[in-house]
Structure 1
Amino acid sequence: MQRRCVKVALLQGGGGSVRQDAPVGARPGDVVEAFLHHLMVERGSAANTLRSYGTDLRRYLEHLAARGIDDLAAVREDDVAGFVVALRSGPSPLAASSAARALAAVRGLHRFAVRDGLLAEDVAREVRPPALPARLPRALSLDQVEQLLAGCIGEGPGPLRDRALLELLYSTGARISEAVGIDRDDLDAANRTVLLRGKGGKQRIVPVGRPALAAVEAYLVRARPGLAARGRGTPALLVNARGGRLSRQSAWHVLRAAAEAAGLSAAVSPHTLRHCFATHLLAGGADVRVVQELLGHASVTTTQIYTSVTVDTLREVYATSHPRALG
């Protein structure tokens, strides 16, 4: 109902009479607000997604304002294409991946406006994102993963929690945001599974390995009670020093600190252990569609990038081991 009211306000905002058989334009800022509301309420988009879309669409509004456009119906394909060019140039150009993400937000905005009858034509539909460089995800070797996990040493509440976090990330392939979103009731130790809440509110149940369960059990018994007592009560499995839910940023800091403590020279990212999870499963013979389900990928195409990593590894082993590999 709220979004419908926004739509009515948009249609009436121009003043004067409106032909019922012709779409009307709308102020870009109002359409952006309605679109973000649609993503939040009807699509159930995650908070991080909404923040990213909000940032990208604010850039788009600034771009349109600089061109003197105050009506979305006045936007042409060249204006959208010019936005991509502007993102990739200037004193602080965005990477191709960031520009592509911003264009995805803009295309979603125009598609939404056409679907709701605010625009007659989707001028953003044919605008293509900048070409992305071929880039394979970084994955650590099994020995490096062991080093990373060993980077969380000590019996204090912090190290016990951090070890549980890292073990869960590697054991389940969870995104960091999914790991910190786990509640205590989501973990089924008897069946060795955990419920993860992924992008768009989608849920999946994944297995948890015994080492991860042991690390979580040690944390629950010897660390979480003391940490949770400092807060007001939270269902979160992983809690911070104030007794609240551990944040995504804090979890990323834990991963980075563990890598430094382990003396790993390889760069780590928030997705490092997720990449290791997928790559090591495929290298061990797992079916790509099973890995797709475990990772929560909507399309198997996304998962197949890890098969390239595995093939490259096999090629390296072959080249260094087969007596006639270079013949």
Structure 2
Amino acid sequence: MDLDVDEVLSAFEAHLRFERDMSPHTVRAYIGDVTALLDYLAGHLDGVDVTALRGWLAEQHDAGKARATLARRTACIRTFSAFCHRQGWLPNDPGLLLGTAKAPRRLPAVLDQGQAREVLDAPSEGEPRDLRDQALLELLYATGVRVSELCGLDVDDVDRERRVVRVLGKGRKERSVPFGGPALRALDRWCVHGRPLWVRTGSGPALFLGVRGGRIDAGTVRRVVHARVRRVEGAPDMGPHGLRHSAATHLLEGGADLRSVQELLGHASLNSTQVYTHVSIERLRSAYRQAHPRA
């Protein structure tokens, strides 16, 4: 069956955006992968079988693509072939016969609790930028939210009385995450003494603003986190996701149960949360090796 490639890509993109509710980043990656697959197939879907799909993946492997990239492209192919089968473009779904490629799971770099204190207790000059940066750092570490979730927060999402923040996570799933006194005080300083100085006509209800009054973007948050962490001697270089990892690890080290941490982080699967138990065990091993006389 010869189909118009642009029509196929457009239909698949709409499926990813509106039916699967995938993030813009994932949609772009999947469309890029399918474009490369259709080039390999010369635009012909008719007769495509698991051998052809494996051939494309083998070509990617031979080209030196990383295992993480191959894992994503395998997942993309399976999604695409299932979509084409439902559309009637393929007589069956060859993606069902593909094995699931797994990327190696690396343990995330995390701050120890002393380093986290140094990051958050750095002196501030009280300028609006300082107040905003301190508030977002405190909230990132206190809640473990993703950077996209932080950027999407509105002023009314913060319940100061109950000390919880309402977050819209992956798949547009809403959850409430608690935070502590230091984050509350930093937020109050920003909202009272900083944010009003940056508010413009188009600011809307955004909790965190850029210097021009618009909603803060993820790139700005990453620069803030990297710059603050770099001030701490011995701390691993990290961005907002590193603070998320650190918050989860410190919660488990403090006695929180895995299910509670899963709920706080907004993980759909407990498997995603279990990596932090490995981080804690590795740190325990490191401390044991350094301290025990017969380690």
Q: What pairs up with 1:1-327 in 2 under 5 angstroms?
A: 26-64=3-41, 69-90=42-63, 93-128=64-99, 130-151=101-122, 153-229=124-200, 231-323=201-293, 325-326=294-295
> Gaps spanning 5+ residues in structure 2: where?
none
CA apart distance, 1:302: 1.1
Contact 1:152/1:163 (8 A) holds in 2: no
Cα distance change, pair 270–96 in 1 and its aligned pair in 2 (3 A): farther
Contact 1:150/1:262 (8 A) holds in 2: no
CA apart distance, 1:265: 4.5
| Distance of 2:40 and 2:135 partners within structure 1 | 45
Larger gyration radius, structure 1 or structure 2: 1
**Matched residue of 1:161: which SS?**
helix
Q: How many residues align?
A: 295
Report Cα offsets for 1:55-95 as digits up to 9, x if no partner.
3333333333xxxx3222332223322332333443xx432
Cα distance change, pair 209–113 in 1 and its aligned pair in 2 (3 A): same
Normalised to the residue count of structure 2, the TM-score between the two structures is 0.91
Report Cα offsets for 1:89-120 as digits up to 9, x if no partner.
43xx4321122112212211111122333322
| Distance of 1:183 and 1:304 partners within structure 2 | 31
**Matched residue of 1:232: which SS?**
coil
**Matched residue of 1:153: which SS?**
coil
Q: After TM superposition, where is structure 1 displaced by more than 6 Å over at least 4 residues in a row?
A: none
Which amino acid in 2 is paired with 1:241?
V
Identity of aligned residues (%): 39
Report Cα offsets for 1:94-149 as digits up to 9, x if no partner.
32112211221221111112233332222222323555334111111011112222
| Distance of 1:25 and 1:112 partners within structure 2 | 16
> Gaps spanning 5+ residues in structure 1: where?
1-23
CA apart distance, 1:216: 1.0
Cα distance change, pair 42–130 in 1 and its aligned pair in 2 (3 A): closer
Contact 1:25/1:119 (8 A) holds in 2: no
Contact 1:234/1:243 (8 A) holds in 2: no
CA RMSD of aligned residues (A): 2.1
Which amino acid in 1 is paired with 2:11?
A
| Distance of 1:38 and 1:30 partners within structure 2 | 12
Cα distance change, pair 164–87 in 1 and its aligned pair in 2 (3 A): farther
